[in-house]
Chains A and B, each alone.
Chain A
Amino acid sequence: MKIAKPPLPSQDKRWKIVDAKMRRLGYKANALVETLHTVQESFGYLDEEALAFLAGALHVPPSKVYGVATFYNFFSLKPQGAHTCIVCLGTACYVKGADKVLMAVERYTGIKSGETTAHDSRTAFCGTKSYLLGLCG
């Protein structure tokens, strides 16, 4: 039985890129992470519409899509700022006072880590905590 292809959510050209990716991977359920990557790269974040669309297109339960999208650090459910500040909180950096660096950044920008400043999108800033970037020494 051939299952009808769900229509793209909007006329947005970026959906074509996503659809091409899914087609190349044969609309298989195990291509979920790969497809989420494509959506993340072309839209910058994953909104509810995108998640629901992927669930329908790849025949994966919506809860599973959401679970995968929230599990991996790379995926973001909120629009990201134009610039991202990453503060390494690995053990070596932490010993050298990374927590103070993070606090200073938070004080300077007035946001908590993981948030995005409320400026217009060009100057938007968002902070991220990270563990071990491998730049020690």
Chain B
Amino acid sequence: MILELLFAERNHICSVCVANGHCELQSLAQQQGMTHVRFAYLYPEASVDASHERFVIDHNRCILCTRCVRVCDEIEGAHTWDVMGRGTNSRVITDLNQPWSTSETCTSCSKCVQVCPTGALFEKGKSVAEMAKRREFLPYLTLMRGQHK
């Protein structure tokens, strides 16, 4: 049911998503044998910010797992991402809710893009189902920083 609520909260359309086939939300839904969503979709008005030179944030696909916020703060140490608002109005933001490209703290390290479980954060130029995430660096980085994963 939680999965269905996640699907209903934003505009998740797998067939046209860059992360189709590489999406954790999609895999979980398949694993659980989810066939349809029992709840009315909210169809929130969510924007797409493609201002960054290399990456895009599509709020329609964001599930607010805040992995990007955590990796940016705890691993990269830049804390470019954070969550704004409350409830259905919540969004992940860069700096003062400004276009990603104008963010002064962002180091363009792409860690947020790699840890994003869905297609909300992806590299520019990737088409449908082409955005496979590479997370191999994470265990090494956490090890080097002496943290326990």
Q: Show the binding face of A for B, using Cβ within 8 Å.
A: 48, 51-52, 55, 61-67, 70-71
Contacts and interface: CB of A to CB of B under 8 A. Distances in A.
A102 B83 CA distance: 30
A63 B80 contact: yes
Contact of B80 (A48, A52, A61): A61
Contact of B82 (A48, A52, A66): A66
B82 A61 contact: yes
**Interface residues of chain B: helix, strand, loop or mixed (majority):** loop
Given A62-B95, A63-B93, A66-B97, 19 more contacts: A51-B96, A61-B79, A61-B80, A61-B82, A61-B95, A61-B105, A63-B79, A63-B80, A63-B81, A63-B105, A64-B79, A64-B82, A66-B82, A66-B93, A67-B82, A67-B83, A70-B85, A70-B86, A71-B84
Contacts of A52: 96
23 contacts: A51-B96, A52-B96, A61-B73, A61-B80, A61-B95, A61-B105, A62-B105, A63-B80, A63-B93, A63-B94, A63-B96, A64-B82, A65-B96, A66-B84, A66-B93, A66-B95, A66-B96, A67-B83, A67-B93, A70-B85, A70-B97, A71-B84, A71-B85
B74 to A, nearest CB: 12
Nearest 4 interchain pairs by C-beta:
A63-B82, A61-B79, A67-B82, A70-B84
Interface of B: 73, 78-86, 93-97, 104-105
Contacts of A65: 96
A98 to B, nearest CB: 19
A51 B79 CA distance: 16
